[in-house]
Amino acid sequence: MEKVAILGAGTWGTALANLLARSGHEVALWSKFEEEINVLKSTHLHKNLPGSVISKAIAFFADMKEACEGKSIVVFATPSVYIRQTAEKAKPFLKSNQIIVNVAKGIEPKSLLTMSEILEDVLGKDFNYVSLSGPTHAEEVAIGLPTLIVSACQNPKIAQIIQDTFSNQTMRVYTNPDVRGVELSGALKNIIALAGGMSDGLGYGDNAKAAIITRGLVEITEIGRAMGCHEKTFFGLAGIGDIVVTATSIHSRNHKAGYLLGQGRSLEDVLKEVGQVVEGLYALEAAKELEVKYNVELPIIDVVYEVVHDHLPVSKAIQKLFSRKKKDEINDPIFTEDDAMKEN
């Protein structure tokens, strides 16, 4: 059994803590908010995980040193916008023999670093870094519903350690060496989920949703290939799997935010009603920067950006997509063999 620290007591961090505790691992769950820790300690309930009782085997900490000390695995589970500052806070208490796991989904604007790249930037190259990602709604994982996920690491032995640690009768974990592709998928699928929600908010049907998911996957794959990622990653759990669950589920914050925008609600009202971090909104700036840097075409991501940042009405965004130049699906550059992957 492993000793695991989870940094971040949001829905995903808490759900993973519950999963690991049920498997018999020694788990410490940290939050910088002492009040949040006190509520979890006293009630063993999480306000955003209805129907889930938090395991009494979990130790709760508001002190970073106490949470990280003596652990073999340290999991960063804060929202993507807080990963860098959480790593800086944890750095004095981490040792190079610990495995660092990222479960956040995002890309840092300006630097264009993925989450595990941010962790390496702050903590250094002496650690083994793993990204754990896939179609995994916290609400389902917390209560033990069947789930599949990917442990991504360039070191196969370390990927397998995380695979073994997180696998149980309800969680099946695959390994994948393409860390960048897995993390890119996790970040950009949230934008496609916003688009799917907008479609539903406009009252469109399953045909439109299927088109958004399919063409959205094409966009993510195109930028991934330009960045040197493995194409199969985007057709696996961290790619198409995560897009489907995030673009269709009632649990998805990104889908809900898109739905409300599609109904004509202001961004301010949307954020207030969702009440939690909407990762797709934070990923938009970096996605646009990647589009320019790698000279690729991302029309769905473009119109979502315009809706959010330029106040383009959602109905006009759809019109922009339908008025684009007609194309051949099979001979789209993404599917041609002579469009070789470009290294970053």
- pLDDT surpassing 80 at residue 338: no
The answer as to whether 342 is a domain residue is no
Q: For residues 208 and 173, state if they share a domain.
A: no
The answer as to whether 210 is a domain residue is yes
Residue owning tokens 């508001």:
62
Q: Which helix (H) or strand (E) holds 207?
A: helix 206-226
Task: Tell me how far apart the alpha carbons of residues 72 and 95 are, in angstroms, rounded to a whole number.
Answer: 9
By three-state DSSP, how is residue 153 classified? coil
CATH number, position 256: 1.10.1040.10
The answer as to whether 340 is a domain residue is no
First to last CA, the chain: 38
Task: Tell me how far apart the alpha carbons of residues 21 and 19 are, in angstroms, rounded to a whole number.
Answer: 6
Domain end point (choices 148, 177, 206) = 177
Range of the domain at 53: 3-177
The answer as to whether 129 is a domain residue is yes
- Work out the pLDDT band at 339, boundaries 50, 70, 90: very low
**Residue 343 DSSP label:** P
Q: What is the pLDDT of residue 344?
A: 42
**In this predicted model, what pLDDT tens digit does every residue of 90-142 receive, in sequence order?**
999 999 999 999 999 999 999 999 999 999 999 999 999 999 999 999 999 99
**In this predicted model, what pLDDT tens digit does every residue of 21-39 receive, in sequence order?**
999 999 999 999 999 999 9
- pLDDT surpassing 80 at residue 335: no
Q: For residues 235 and 116, state if they share a domain.
A: no
**What share of the chain in percent tops pLDDT 90?**
89
**In this predicted model, what pLDDT tens digit does every residue of 216-240 receive, in sequence order?**
999 999 999 999 999 999 999 999 9
**Residue 57 DSSP label:** T
| Per-residue burial over 256-285, b = 16 or more CB atoms within 10 Å of its CB, e = otherwise | bbbbbbbbebebeebbeebeebbbbbbbbb
- Work out the pLDDT band at 341, boundaries 50, 70, 90: very low
The answer as to whether 296 is a domain residue is yes
Q: For residues 192 and 65, state if they share a domain.
A: no
Task: Tell me how far apart the alpha carbons of residues 61 and 6 are, in angstroms, rounded to a whole number.
Answer: 10
Residues contacting 38, CB < 8 A, separation 6+: none
- Work out the pLDDT band at 330, boundaries 50, 70, 90: confident
**In this predicted model, what pLDDT tens digit does every residue of 189-207 receive, in sequence order?**
999 999 999 999 999 999 9
Average pLDDT of the chain, as a whole number: 93
**In this predicted model, what pLDDT tens digit does every residue of 272-285 receive, in sequence order?**
999 988 999 999 99
DSSP assignments along 104-121, one per residue: ---B-TTT--BHHHHHHH
- Work out the pLDDT band at 337, boundaries 50, 70, 90: very low
**Contact criterion met (CB below 8 Å) for 127 and 100:** yes
- Work out the pLDDT band at 336, boundaries 50, 70, 90: very low
Q: For residues 328 and 316, state if they share a domain.
A: yes
The answer as to whether 17 is a domain residue is yes
- pLDDT surpassing 80 at residue 331: no
Q: For residues 107 and 236, state if they share a domain.
A: no
Residue 160's CB: how many other CB atoms inside 10 A? 14
Domain end point (choices 177, 211, 237) = 177
Q: For residues 94 and 197, state if they share a domain.
A: no
Q: For residues 124 and 236, state if they share a domain.
A: no
Domain end point (choices 119, 153, 177) = 177
Q: For residues 237 and 101, state if they share a domain.
A: no
Check residues 286 and 341 and name the one with the higher pLDDT: 286
Beta bridge partners of 82: none
Q: What is the pLDDT of residue 332?
A: 66
**In whole angstroms, what separates CA 11 from the centre of its chain?**
13
**What share of the chain in percent tops pLDDT 70?**
96
Phi, psi of 56 (to 5 degrees): -75, -10
Q: For residues 295 and 239, state if they share a domain.
A: yes
The answer as to whether 90 is a domain residue is yes
Q: What is the pLDDT of residue 342?
A: 43
Q: What is the pLDDT of residue 333?
A: 57
- Strand pairing of 59-61 and 73-76? unpaired
Q: For residues 219 and 128, state if they share a domain.
A: no
**In this predicted model, what pLDDT tens digit does every residue of 246-269 receive, in sequence order?**
999 888 999 999 999 999 999 999
Q: What does the block give as tokens for 37? A: 């820790």
**Contact criterion met (CB below 8 Å) for 190 and 219:** no
Listed residue (272, 276, 282) closest to 49, CA to CA:
276
**In this predicted model, what pLDDT tens digit does every residue of 288-298 receive, in sequence order?**
999 999 999 99
Determine if residue 98 is left, alpha or beta; phi over 0 gives left, psi from -120 to 50 gives alpha, anything else beta: beta
For the chain, what is the domain count? 2
What residues act catalytically?
189
CATH number, position 107: 3.40.50.720
- pLDDT surpassing 50 at residue 302: yes
Q: For residues 159 and 74, state if they share a domain.
A: yes
- Work out the pLDDT band at 174, boundaries 50, 70, 90: very high
The answer as to whether 256 is a domain residue is yes
Q: For residues 35 and 153, state if they share a domain.
A: yes
By three-state DSSP, how is residue 236 classified? coil
